[in-house]
Amino acid sequence: MVNRKWMYIFIQFLLVSSIRSDDDVFEDDEEEVTKGSDDKEEFVPSLFVAPKLSDKSTPNFFDYFPVGSKIGLTWIKSLAKKDDVDSDIAKYNGEWSIGAPTKVSIEGDLGLIVKTKARHHAIAAKLNTPFAFDANTFVVQYDIKFEEGQECGGGYLKLLSEGAEKDLANFQDKTAYTIMFGPDKCGATGKVHLIFRYKNPINGTISEYHANQPTTIGSTYWDDHNTHLFTLVVKPTGEYSVSVDGKSLYYGNMMSDVTPALTPPKQIFDETDLKPVDWDERENIEDESAVKPDDWDENEPQSVVDEAATKPYDWNEEENELIADPEAKKPQDWDEDMDGSWEAPLIDNPACKGLSGCGTWKAPTIKNPKYKGKWIRPKISNPAFKGKWTARLIDNPNYFEPKPFAGLAPITAVGIEMWTMSENILFDNILITSSEEDSSDVAKQTFYVKQKEEYRLAAATGNGNGFFQQIIDATNEKPWLWAVYILCVLLPLVAIGVFCFGKQSKPTPNFAKKSDAYSADDDRVPNLVDDDEEEIIGDEEDDVNQPGPSGSQSNPEPQDEEENAEQQSANSSQSSAAEEEDDEHVVPENEPVKPTEEFAKKSPKNTGGAKRRTARRGD
């Protein structure tokens, strides 16, 4: 009972935790859906409130695209062409605009929109103040909305290196950048890119280093047509963290969690080292001194006919193993001129059923004991073997001990350069700063307000995701939630099964007497063997009315007064003698009484009814 009690408490704890968790995640959405479905009020967009930063905040760049923003002022569309591609697709001819989304949830909230699909797009803006990687934390944050979903394409930002701000009209795929960050998807594969371009201080080469991350993320960010917030934080220690919608997606450190490793190897293979001409890498060679044996016959077949085999006695050579199906009919559309002569398909011959076989009997083949195959020279160890050759190791002339921010070029501009098969991709609230507090403050004033209004719009128009769909979306982001859901469903079922079908324990019978006085059941045999063995004793009052030797269906004949008096006197004396005898047989309390023949003879006779016993005595 104690274990079952604790199991019930544990199940209730899981259920309450799950309910509370679901309430926290979906409480606002359910309220909006309920309000939209019950009241069915027409959706009225809320008014846009421009985000404000504190007076101490000095972001390097912040654009929430206020009313009046136009392409060509802050954001410059690229006029460049891609190299090494056909001329008809080399141009960055994708169209951009600054405007509201197709479905307005906040009146006056604008963004930078990709207006075309299946084109190359490129646009860039100069930072208010350059960001130098020194002792300050680097933060970039923006929100993006794929109104039409995303089939194949990106939504990432390129944080352009110093010098790019001088000619934004020529921004292209080969323009130098310091960090690339943001979502990218094609087919079922989706990532949130984080790429650093780091300069080797010894030889001046700049290489790309990709942050280690999950290979694929859920499709929620692209297919639910809602706005999502992407945030990158890089600290001077090299620690980076990527979050989506305020939830951590992955994190690591530039010094250990990028590919290839940021720290170059101390030794490398000497590229000028050449393998000697006489270097023999063969570990085994053929034994040239070996000679084929004279009795080696390469012409012997691998198998021969078994001459000892005999035809089974029940083999029927008069019947064929397969016959034409007698029930088959030529199709009505069969054209013998085009399809040829029609023949019924073959089936197993019923006459051969149960026999060893039918048709012409042939002796089986067996492995030829004389077969040896083609003779080849055996191999021996190569006496000239020198091992596998590799170039010698030398000290890496370009080795250096990196410091996280030392090789990152200052950022002076931000650009969007991508190919996409979708249109109506909206970028908004692009922030570059050294303050995590600023990014959190901007998110509260922009993204979280927008997210709530989009849920309200979806609920009012009947396009919102249902409760179960939201659960599925949550598991796409956090697959471990499936385990919680399964436990919340499975454990109650197990508890119900245990409660309803669990075997109840039976109480142990107690045959102790409460007094020393003789009672009518002193001669009953206690059930000392099994719980499911049965003892049935007839009731005296019932047996009086039963037919048989000890019972009668009619009332007993009355006795005269003298006989009654004599019987009462005899019973009184017999009872006195029994009480004196009982004093000699005192039974301790809680000890089962075992009747004896002597004690049974002194007990009053029961003439009322028959007794039926089914209990078995122990050995």
Distance CA 348, CA 354 (A): 12
Residue 31 labelled as part of a binding site: no
The backbone region for 64, taken as left when phi is positive above 0, alpha when psi lies in -120 to 50, beta otherwise, is alpha
Return phi, psi of residue 292, to 5°.
Answer: -65, 135
**How many CB atoms lie under 10 A from the CB of residue 372?**
13
CB atoms within 10 A of CB 463: 10
Residue 458, classed as helix, strand or coil, is helix
Q: Around Cβ 233, how many Cβ atoms within 10 Å?
A: 17
- DSSP per residue over 358-417, as a string? BSS--PPEEE-TT---S--PPEEE-TT------PPEEE-TT-----TTTTPPPEEEEEEE
Is residue 127 within 8 Å of 138, Cβ to Cβ?
Answer: no
Task: Label residue 445 left, alpha or beta by phi (over 0 means left) and psi (-120 to 50 means alpha).
Answer: alpha
Strand, helix or coil at 431? strand
Tell whether 240 is in a known binding site: no
CA angle 165, 168, 173 (to 5 degrees): 105
Question: For residue 618, how many other CB atoms are within 10 A of its CB?
Answer: 5
Q: β-strand 189-199 against 177-186: which pairing, if any? A: antiparallel
Query: Terminus-to-terminus CA distance in the chain, angstroms?
Result: 34
Burial 119-138 (b: 16+ CB within 10 A, else e): bbbbbbbbbeeebbbeeeeb
The region, left, alpha or beta by phi > 0 then psi within -120 to 50, assigned to residue 461 is alpha
> What's the CA gap between 128 and 411, in Å, rounded?
11
**DSSP structural state of residue 169:** G
Find out whether 417 is annotated in a ligand binding site: yes
Other beta carbons within 10 Å of 223: 17
DSSP H helical ranges for 478-544: 481-501, 540-544
Per-residue DSSP letter, 93: -
Phi, psi (degrees; rounded to nearest 5) at 414:
-125, 135
Between CA 139 and CA 195 the distance in angstroms is 14
Q: Check the annotation: does 134 bind a ligand.
A: no
Give 365's contacts (C-beta < 8 A, 6+ positions apart). Answer: 303, 304, 305, 306
Query: How many whole angstroms separate alpha carbon 190 and alpha carbon 441?
Result: 28
Structure tokens at 54: 């504190």
Report the amino acid identity of residue 84: D
Q: Which residues pair with 181 in a beta bridge?
A: 157, 194
Q: Is 198 annotated as a binding residue?
A: no
Place of tokens 């004033």: 445
SS3 495: helix
Whether 250 has a binding-site annotation, put simply, is no
Instruction: Determine the residue type at 319.
Output: E
Tell me: is residue 88 an annotated ligand-binding position: no
**Residues within the annotated binding site for an alpha-D-glucoside?**
156, 158, 177, 184, 417
**Residues within the annotated binding site?**
109, 156, 158, 177, 184, 417, 428
**Residues within the annotated binding site for Ca(2+)?**
109, 428
